[in-house]
């Protein structure tokens, strides 16, 4: 079984440096703070876009992780622009 770091190239750690449970679907993502915007359609689209690029099917967990990572990056860039 691959770890998150092997499957997506990301460390699989949250901001505090601790491993966190990754939701498998958008429904499960609703319980993650800040992830209420993630829909099943968005998870499916993320899987469709990234699976060919990874050369294998991307799991729902990986798709949610990717979406949350992009959200955090966007928030950082916005804060930097405003300061």
Residue 2 lies in a domain: no
Q: Provide CB contacts within 8 A for 23, sequence distance 6+.
A: 29, 31, 32, 35, 60, 61, 64
Which of the four pLDDT bands, split at 50, 70 and 90, describes residue 28?
A: low
- Residues of the chain above pLDDT 90, percent: 53
Radius of gyration of the chain (CA): 13
Instruction: Report, as an integer, the average pLDDT of 50-76.
Output: 95
Range of the structural domain that residue 67 is part of? 23-82
Token couple for 46: 């993320």
Mean pLDDT for all residues in the chain: 78
Q: pTM value?
A: 0.65
- Residue 15: the pLDDT is 43
Residue 66 lies in a domain: yes
Residue 63 lies in a domain: yes
Instruction: Report, as an integer, the average pLDDT of 8-13.
Output: 50
Residue 1 lies in a domain: no
d(CA 69, CA 16): 14
Residue 47 lies in a domain: yes
């Amino acid at each position: 079984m691959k770890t998150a770091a092997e499957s997506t190239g990301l460390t699989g750690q949250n901001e505090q440096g601790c491993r966190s449970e990754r939701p498998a679907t958008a429904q499960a993502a609703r319980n993650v703070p800040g992830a209420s915007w993630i829909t099943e359609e968005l998870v499916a689209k993320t899987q469709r876009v990234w699976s060919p690029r990874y050369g294998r099917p991307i799991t729902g967990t990986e798709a949610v992780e990717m979406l949350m990572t992009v959200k955090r990056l966007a928030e950082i860039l916005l804060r930097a622009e405003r300061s």
